[in-house]
């Protein structure tokens, strides 16, 4: 198992945002977290990436306990993420965003950066080539020199994924990557996620668009009010009476 979450609990005030949540994600799979708004999906992402400390529970990644590590240490351990509300570096160019995502691939420190050293230039060149290759893969190579804020929304979502991939992580957490995309963009996103999985990347996916979830996910975890109400393959979950109740009882969340 690449990722093992056990007994994960987080309270906000008196409210349990996440209560005793556990799941396992195997390498090279797409694992989806679904559930109505406020079910605790993004909180789980924040707990895994270290943005929030859990009240109890363990998170093991490649056998290593992540609880207590800082976000940058968790990134260095091989986990990166995208954000539901985009957090691009909007004052930077498209290429610079990906280069910053590749921060972990470099070694040059503050003092060395002040000088023009051959080792630094070689490193810069290598990282830039890799970043450009990544931009080409997602079809943004033409936009490399544009300010990130100048991109249309759909491409900004893609750029955030590229930034998350740039450091060569082994697990990527995608927080509603299809939100705000049109149907063509959503389909090409789904195809891209499947392609990444073929290359061996493992992904955790929060997504409201059920069509996408059913298409790409290997396993689905359904949450409601911070509790796990079902887990299984997309087909199993779809047929689960608890899940149907949670969704239909709520509103028309199922797209």
Partner 1 sequence: MWKKAILRPAAVLLLFAVPLLIKSNYLLSILIVIGLYTIIVQGLGILMGYAGQVSFGHAAFFGLGGYTVAILTTRFHWPTVLALPAAALLPGVIAAIIGRPTLKLRELYLALATLGFGILVHIAFTEGKELTGGPSGITGIPYLSIGGLTFDSDIKFFYLVWITLFLILAGINNLVRSRVGRALRAISESEHAAENAGIDTAKLKLQAFIFSALLAGLAGGLYAFYVTFISPSPFGFHASVQFVLMAVIGGLGTFWGPLLGAAVVVTLGEFLRWAVPLVIPGAGGEYQIIFFGLILVLLMIFRPEGLGALGKCLKLSPEKMPGTGIPSKDI
What are residue 175's DSSP bridge partners?
Answer: 206
Instruction: Considering the complex, state which of residue 196 and residue 237 has its C-beta at the smaller distance from partner 1.
Output: 196
Q: Which is nearer to partner 1, 96 or 211 (CB)?
A: 96
Q: How far is the CB of 139 from partner 1 (least distance, A)?
A: 20
SS3 for 90?
coil
Nearer to partner 1, 10 or 219 (CB): 10
- Alpha carbons 62 and 78: distance in angstroms, whole number: 10
Whole-number minimum distance, CB 196 to partner 1, in Å?
18
Burial 235-245 (b: 16+ CB within 10 A, else e): eebbebeebee
Of 80 and 212, nearer to partner 1 (C-beta) is: 80
The CB-of-15 to partner 1 minimum distance in angstroms stands at 23
Determine phi and psi for 46, rounding to 5 degrees: -65, -30
Which sign does the torsion angle of CA 160, 165, 166, 169 carry? positive
List, in sequence order, every residue forming a beta bridge with 172; answer none if it has no partner.
80, 203
The distance of closest approach from Cβ of residue 183 to partner 1 in the complex, given in angstroms and rounded to an integer, is 28
Min dist CB 28 to partner 1, Å, is 22
Structure-token pair, residue 138: 């997602």
Nearer to partner 1, 123 or 215 (CB): 123
* Interacting residues with partner 1 (CB under 8 A): 49-51, 70-72, 75-76, 80-81, 83, 87-93, 95-96, 99-101, 103-104, 106, 108-110, 113-116, 120, 123-124, 127, 145-147, 149-150, 163-164, 166-167
Angle at 46 between CA 40 and CA 50, to 5 degrees: 145
d(CA 61, CA 25): 10
Closest by Cα among 102, 217, 104 to 165: 102
Question: Least distance in Å: CB of 250 to partner 1?
Answer: 29
Of 90 and 233, nearer to partner 1 (C-beta) is: 90
């Amino acid at each position: 198992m690449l990722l093992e979450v056990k007994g994960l609990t987080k309270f906000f005030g008196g409210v349990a945002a996440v209560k005793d949540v556990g799941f396992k994600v195997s390498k090279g799979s797409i694992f989806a977290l679904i559930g109505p708004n406020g079910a605790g999906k993004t909180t789980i992402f924040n707990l895994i990436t270290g943005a929030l400390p859990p009240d109890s529970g363990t998170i093991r990644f490649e056998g290593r306990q992540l609880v207590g590590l800082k976000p940058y240490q968790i990134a260095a351990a091989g986990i990166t993420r995208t954000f539901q509300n985009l957090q691009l570096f909007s004052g930077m160019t498209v290429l610079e965003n990906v280069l910053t995502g590749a921060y972990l691939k470099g070694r040059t420190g503050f003092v060395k950066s002040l000088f023009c050293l051959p080792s630094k230039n070689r490193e810069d060149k290598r990282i830039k080539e890799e970043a450009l290759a990544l931009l080409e893969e997602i079809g943004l190579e033409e936009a490399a020199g544009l300010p990130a804020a100048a991109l249309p929304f759909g491409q900004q979502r893609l750029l955030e994924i590229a930034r998350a991939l740039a450091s060569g992580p082994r697990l990527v957490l995608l927080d509603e990557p299809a939100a705000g995309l049109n149907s063509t963009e959503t389909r090409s996103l789904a195809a891209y996620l499947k392609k990444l999985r073929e290359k061996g990347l493992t992904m955790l996916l929060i997504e409201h668009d059920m069509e996408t979830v059913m298409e790409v996910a290997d396993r689905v975890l359904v949450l409601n009010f911070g509790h796990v109400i079902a887990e299984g393959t997309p087909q199993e979950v779809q047929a689960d009476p608890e899940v149907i109740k949670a969704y239909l009882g709520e509103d028309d969340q199922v797209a």
